[in-house]
Amino acid sequence: MKKLRVFLAICLIMALFPGCSPEREAAREEKLIRVGFSQVGSESDWRAANTQSMISALSEKNGFELIYDNARQRQENQFLAIRNFIQQDVDYIVLAPIAESGWDDVLSEARSAGIPVIIVDRQIAVSDEDLYTSWVGSDFLAEGQRAIRWLEGTIQQQGRLGKPLNILHIQGTDGATAQIGRTKALNDAVRTHPGWKVAAVLPGEYTEAKSYELVRDFLAEDQQIDVIYSENDNMTFGAIRALEEAGISYGADGDVIIISFDAVHDALEMCLNGKINICVECNPLHGPRVAALIRQLENGETPAKQTYVDETFFSPGLLNEDLIGSREY
């Protein structure tokens, strides 16, 4: 009799509150598209903006259930995350890869499970292009070439074209697509410009703290440089701190030209104030694009294999506070 009373009480509750029934809850959840997202980490302001864009676009109010994983700059963590996503039977996997290589096995497992994989930001090198459905991100080689063209024009205006130019190269994470493209642009330029020389390559790994330490130690050896080519803004911030401590002038009115990539708010403010000569944009707002790709797939459409985002560059004369304030990152 006691069991019967409990059963009747449960039935009464379910009748009075139908939204709480397991059937209604399951129906609600079935409408959401489950997405597993493996992010590189949180090493920079750019990465934080990229993460927020993904979380906002793939929200429940937009029809998604997002399972987010921070790999903390370790590729093995991304392997584990993808396998966990497969176990959780997600509808889609979104991967922001730490490095280009090493993905064949785990993406083969995703394909065997029938889960489409969308790559964002950096690219991957796989034996079979069908291991992923689509990629969206930046043309990092074009970003580097944009910076080089600006440097050529600036040096020419200064009457220094063809003269010695010592460049300190602060490099991003080795093997990342952004590092590969931006590095290639610089190396190609050095090969074709007599007098241009890379004084050193410092592995800043996209972090401010490490770049500060590396540049500080480099400058302590009384090294002479004309240009800092820094592959992201956070590394630039570290380099600038080291320059200031060493008493070396930089920026629009200084001795050292500062080239930086990403164009986050703080970097644009520094560029407006003449501390950074040029900020090359790298757009992190991939969330809406990924959501649109998933909607295409849900509708049975075939999205483009590669989608490059539109980007530009900024120098002090091209900036004002209204422009900076209007930007989302």
Predicted confidence at residue 3, as pLDDT, reads 36
Within its chain, how far is the Cα of 255 from the centroid?
Answer: 30
Task: Please state the pTM of the whole predicted model.
Answer: 0.84
To 5 degrees, how large is the angle CA 237–CA 284–CA 144?
65
Let me know if residue 292 belongs to a domain: yes
What would the pLDDT profile of 172-193 be if each residue is shown by its tens digit?
Answer: 999 999 999 999 999 999 999 9
- Are 166 and 148 found together in one domain? yes
Residue 153 lies in a domain: yes
Return the minimum-mean-pLDDT range out of 84-98, 150-164, 240-254, 256-270: 150-164
Question: Which residue did the predictor score with more confidence, 80 or 160?
Answer: 80
* Strand runs labelled E in 187-245: 196-203, 227-230
* 173 CB-near residues (< 8 Å, 6+ apart): 73, 98, 99, 179, 205, 206
Residue written as token pair 């090294």: 223
Q: Is residue 26 part of a domain?
A: no
Query: With contact defined as beta carbons under 8 Å apart, do 323 and 87 qualify?
Result: no
- Cβ proximity of 105 and 50 under 8 Å: no
Residue 125 lies in a domain: yes
First to last CA, the chain: 64
Instruction: Please give the DSSP secondary-structure letter assigned to residue 309.
Output: P
What is the C-alpha to C-alpha distance for residues 72 and 305, in angstroms, rounded to an integer? 27
**Predicted local distance difference test score (pLDDT) of residue 14:** 42
Q: CA-CA distance, 34 to 36, in Å (whole number)?
A: 7
Q: What is the mean pLDDT of residues 34-56?
A: 95
Domain count, the chain: 2
Q: Which residue has the higher pLDDT, 56 or 22?
A: 56
Q: 54 with 185, same domain?
A: no
Reduce the DSSP state of residue 159 to 3 states and report it.
coil
Tokens of 227: 């240009």
Residues 199 and 320 in one domain: yes
Based on the fold, state whether residues 145 and 127 are members of the same structural domain: no
Write the CATH number for 195.
3.40.50.2300
Overall average pLDDT of the 217-232 stretch:
95
Integer angstrom CA distances of residue 258 from 3, 200, 230, 303: 76, 15, 8, 38
Q: How far is C-alpha 261 from the chain's CA centre?
A: 11
User: How far, rounded to the nearest angstrom, does the alpha carbon of residue 158 sit from its chain's CA centroid?
Assistant: 34
Q: Residue 313's beta-bridge partner residues? A: 280
> Is 278 found in the same domain as 152?
yes
Instruction: Work out the pLDDT band at 223, boundaries 50, 70, 90.
Output: confident
Q: Are residues 164 and 266 in the same domain?
A: yes
Instruction: Decide if pLDDT at 7 tops 90.
Output: no
Q: Which residues contact 103 (CB under 8 A, 6 or more apart)?
A: 95, 97, 124, 125, 126, 131
Q: What is the pLDDT of residues 80-90, one digit of tens each?
A: 999 999 999 99
Distance CA 73, CA 43 (A): 8
The per-residue pLDDT of the chain, averaged, comes to 91
Query: What number is the average pLDDT over the span 107-124?
Result: 97
Q: How confident is the model at residue 43 (pLDDT cuts 50, 70, 90)?
A: confident
In the block, tokens 């849900």 appear at 298
Would you state the pLDDT for residue 73? Answer: 92
pLDDT score of 24: 35
88: domain range?
31-138+284-298
pLDDT tens readout for residues 247-306: 999 999 999 999 999 999 999 999 999 999 999 999 999 999 999 999 999 999 999 999
Residues 174 and 225 in one domain: yes
Indicate if 177 and 320 belong to the same structural domain. Answer: yes
What pLDDT does 240 receive?
98
pLDDT band at 30 (very low <50, low <70, confident <90, very high): low
Averaged pLDDT for residues 161-182: 94
Place of tokens 């002090």: 316
Residue showing tokens 């803004």 = 233
Q: Are residues 188 and 289 in the same domain?
A: no
157 and 63, same structural domain? no
Mark whether 189 and 289 lie in a shared domain: no
Over residues 68-83, the mean pLDDT reads: 97
Please state, in angstroms and rounded to a whole number, the distance separating the CA atoms of residues 274 and 142: 24
Residue 92 · residue 115 · CB < 8 Å: yes
